[in-house]
Structure 1
């Protein structure tokens, strides 16, 4: 049965995590996976998450199945957060999913059902799991320009020239805020332009929101989504709680559809539930219960939002210190682009070969495309990190 199957392509991030874990060099800096680490280089367990988890344990929660739509109270509360408690035009329906990636897959399966000829447009570059998930759903994809690799800034002209050519068989996958991997920022003006193009060209916006709260704040980071939702008749949205709650392994997410009628919204919700049922039957409940407990307790919700804001401040401080170190050691301002970005990530102007040199010779682990996770940079390692990067890349700058 399985004798002639080929080995699949390796998952770069998982492979690097394993490789880094075996690297015992004391100066190692692992910036490969998107997690936030505290000053002691430990993955942070947020105080509100710990308290909510303990409350649930004390209450003797059961481990029964949830329905195929998931916990709809959680789904509604997460929707309110994602839309910053603002009412939008149309009807929103949703289901609980196994992380944001599970939500994306359910939405893609729904798109496949609705229009097998649909093409998914992703930014160049995009999150590492986007294209494999699109392929697994049996849909075609194409890339739209996003980053100018010479300046490491937004390729605004290239992006809009491409979007202007799209039509009703196209789906544009957008990052709600804090673009992964580039950290590039779409301004409100950009979102307004995209919204108007989606309306006039009739393409479907599909928004992946995984970093709400890591740019300008929980409410502010919803501005792009709300702008589009109040302009178009239909959009799709997948949401992850991995980053802003630190619930990485609990796989907490949701998928939503905005529709012009309640009947269409209800049908979309029922189909999303069936799409998920064919992969993992029902979603995991533990992480969603934690999120729901935090949302329903004003003290825990404030504790969580305050801690998230503190994390955001710390990441921005690392971004500023990193940029200052690049100025100091390079004698120039090329790396100032880092300050104009947002969220956990930035991209280095490095080739795949140079990223391998950084890993092999300097024990600095980033992705092949140059992505590094700023939220995992120990402050005491900034000088070493910058000097190493410049040593490897300065020949090209």
Structure 2
């Protein structure tokens, strides 16, 4: 009995130390993995797929896209180099593209039939299979951060519309006026789409109906642009994106990363489709369709005709082929993209496994894409 009483304080001390260690681990999950290896960090990105050809791309436009894609790669790479997690890296990378008017995500997102910018995003942690997503939001500057906040600060996976916006506001995320997302080029694309629809040209997604008049551009933004145009040409820094100007285009952005702790993560963000209506949501915010990450297989981010990517559960299908069929990443990804094509859809994806293997298949004319490896070697590609 005396021996037991003597051991009891030691046992309590041991339990206390264990609890403290567990708290520390929760605060810094990366530190729990003692097998850190900076030599394996890898980041892959995409900025959308579609009819992207040299014929409809000016040298100035190509230069602008390459610069932003390279910037996104360097930002994410910097996070990984400093010991940041794959989650930190994909969020930071996607935010760069959300803040650029060149892509269909965040500022520069396409317009709905009613003249709004409705944004979707999702993120997933390959280590824990935690995930978060938002859909149909109009006031959160960086939807990808809203998606991560849903994952980390709520018991849910997906939030939509005004509820998601209220949650983001309560959690201290940056809220902006809807006019922040406006760009003249995207607004003109909406007007062209509506004009085409009113001309009784069948739309691939919607039954032709009498289209509502497009919403007017925000007064302050419109006035600013007109003043600068009068001074001589288009506004300084203004660039007409070659998206939706030749065939069907998808400017969705995404990133997948492998950190030095061996963990994968994926993130995707989009404005959807020009002239979308009825609260349409594509694959980007749907876990398993447009985004998926699992340390046991791969991390995937997709871009393309969302309805087909949802029906084919593209992101999860690749992981399943690897997990159950023992297929290597590239084979699994290509087989799934082929499946999308057989259904009648088009687009592409980026993928990454824990060995640092990369895949970037697509069945369209082009896809904005790039990667960077641990040694700093990087490449940005656009055309097929």
TM-score (norm 2): 0.26
Q: Which has the greater radius of gyration?
A: 2
Greater share of helix: 1
TM-score (norm 1): 0.26
